[in-house]
Homo-oligomer: A and B are copies of this chain.
Amino acid sequence: MHSHPLRQSKKQRKTMADNNPIRFGIMGCAEIARKVSRAIHLAPDSILYAIASRSIQKAKQFAVKNGLSETVKVYGSYDELLDDPCVDAVYMPLPTSLHVQWAVMAAEKKKHLMLEKPTALDVGQLDRILEACSVNGVQFMDASMWYHHPRTAKIKELLSDSKTFGQIRVIHSSSSFLGTPEFLEKRVKPDLNALGALGDAGWYCIGAIMWAKNYQLPTTVTALPAIARNTTGVILSCNASLHWDKEQTTATFYCSFLSNESMDLAISGSNGSLNLEDFIIPFTETSASFEFTSGAKFLDLHIGWNVKSKRVQVTSELPQEAMMVQDFVELVKGIKHSGCKPDGKWPEISRVTQLVMDAVNNSIDLGFKPVTM
């Protein structure tokens, strides 16, 4: 049995108790909820207030296994959690096919919404969720953690420097891990996780590419004629390319449950190149790095380079998922206490990611033909 990270760090952290923390409810006791419950604990001004599962036993087990405080409420149904007026915000790691139903309901109950990715089965479903959030004035954010790491901001700074980096020419990303046979055949279910590796691992690749391109939609999206599915038809591995006609930028990505863990992001511009191998989850929590070169040229005789790739190290006080919670909580506090409007940036990020994912799926269905956006 593992030690309880929540219990361990509890005292050190929330000593300067926040007067008015944002109270989270977690809907669904998936494995990833363990990580996010810790993040809620570590982030300032946030508190885990309640958890819910479809069965009270499962919820209780989760509480015990993760050393949650006994003050955390435990519900045996999602409805009960949503009906609790003390819950400010919901983190929802439910299977994808259940998102639209429960996310819309959460918004209608005025709960701010942190939704696991992929956000929905398609952009039509996501639009219903975003519309419900908009109408009810609640903040939406998908739970992609890496956007919130300071390394991500540092890379963006570099990408935006036209002298150091220039125009982005090509982006390549991969996200993979090696699923066990049991995972591949039983955990990835067409009725629950119909988007398979594209929805899970591919979400990050598409997000990274769109992030690099400042969320400007590509001209075309083309799935590559290379796809693996399990016996129920769910995608276990696929590849796609995105193309921006005017800027002559091309991106390719690979997402898979059939490969050694990889989280690569490589971007080349007219003047610079950068790459990192752990963009989704840094190798370690306290420090992360990336490598870049700028103005690379051959030495005379082409026997070497005028530069070696430079490693840029970025430290972080909080784990990136706690920074995600922190960013979300700041927005929720603004709405709750200061009458701010929900921030439209995060819904837009999710929406373009989902749109491109839909295009990849369409391209696959069309026999790997380019889909014009």
Q: Smallest Cβ distance from A345 to chain B, in angstroms?
A: 25
- Write the A268-310 contact mask toward B (1 if CB under 8 angstroms, else 0): 1111110101100111110000010111111011111100110
**In the bound complex, how far is the Cα of B31 from the Cα of A321, in angstroms?**
52
Task: Evaluate contact between B250 and A239: CB separation under 8 angstroms.
Answer: yes
How long is the Cα–Cα vector from A260 to B270 in the complex, in angstroms?
A: 5
- Which candidate, A18-26, A88-96, A169-177, is the interface stretch facing chain B? A169-177
Pick the residue among B270, B275, B298 that contacts A264 (CB under 8 A).
B275
Which among A136-144, A221-229, A324-332 touches the partner chain?
Answer: A221-229
Separation of A213 and B295 alpha carbons in the complex (Å): 32
Q: Could you tell me the distance in whole angstroms from the C-beta of A60 to the nearest C-beta in chain B?
A: 20
Write out the residue numbers on chain B whose beta carbons fall within 8 Å of the beta carbon of A259.
169-170, 268-270, 273
B291–A304 CB distance below 8 A? no
* In the bound complex, CA of A107 to CA of B293 (Å): 43
**B224 close to A222 (CB less than 8 A):** yes
Closest Cβ of chain B to A36, distance in Å, is: 10
A172 adjacent to B172 (CB under 8 Å): yes
Q: Which residues of B contact A272 (CB under 8 A)?
A: 260
Flag whether A178 is at the interface (Cβ < 8 A).
yes
B261 touches A298 (CB 8 A): yes
- Complex partner residue of A302 from B32, B260, B277, CB under 8 angstroms: B32
Given known A-B contacts A268-B262, A272-B260, A370-B225, A305 and B281 have beta carbons under 8 A apart? yes
Q: How far is the CA of A318 from the CA of B56 in the complex (A)?
A: 69
A355 shortest CB reach to chain B, Å: 18
Q: Main secondary structure on chain A at its contact with chain B?
A: strand
What are the residues of chain B within 8 A of A304 when measuring CB–CB? 281-285
Q: How far apart are the CA atoms of A283 and B321 in the complex, in Å?
A: 36
Tally of this chain's copies: 2
Name the residue of chain B whose CB is nearest to the CB of A368.
B370
Question: B283–A239 contact, CB under 8 A?
Answer: no
In the assembled complex, how far is the CB of residue A168 from the closest CB belonging to chain B, in whole angstroms?
A: 9
Whether the Cβ atoms of B273 and A260 lie closer than 8 Å is yes
Q: Is A97 an interface residue (CB 8 A)?
A: no
B239 in contact with A170 (CB, 8 Å): yes
> Does A38 have its Cβ within 8 Å of any Cβ on chain B?
yes
Render A194-215 as a binary contact track against B, CB cut-off 8 A, 1 for contact. Answer: 0000000000000000000000
Determine if B283 and A305 form an interchain contact, defined as CB atoms under 8 angstroms apart: yes
Contact A258 B252 (CB under 8 A): no
Interface assignment of A166: CB less than 8 Å from any CB of chain B: yes
Closest B residue by C-beta to A254: B170
Shortest distance in angstroms between A330's beta carbon and chain B's nearest beta carbon?
Answer: 22
Q: With A275-B277, A277-B309, A302-B32 as known contacts, state yes or no: A224 contacts B252, CB within 8 Å.
A: yes
Contact with B along A212-238 (1 / 0, CB 8 A): 000000001010111010000000010
A334 at the interface (CB under 8 A from B): no
Q: Is the CB of A170 within 8 A of B174?
A: yes
B residues near A297, Cβ cutoff 8 Å = 177, 261
User: How far apart sit A49 and B98, CA to CA, in the bound complex (Å)?
Assistant: 76
Answer yes or no: A319 CB below 8 A from chain B CBs: yes
Residues of A within 8 A of B (CB): 2, 5, 31-32, 34-35, 38, 166, 169-170, 172, 174, 176-178, 220, 222, 224-226, 228, 237, 239, 241, 243, 248-250, 252, 254, 256, 258-262, 264, 266, 268-273, 275, 277-278, 281-285, 291, 293-298, 300-305, 308-309, 319, 321, 368, 370
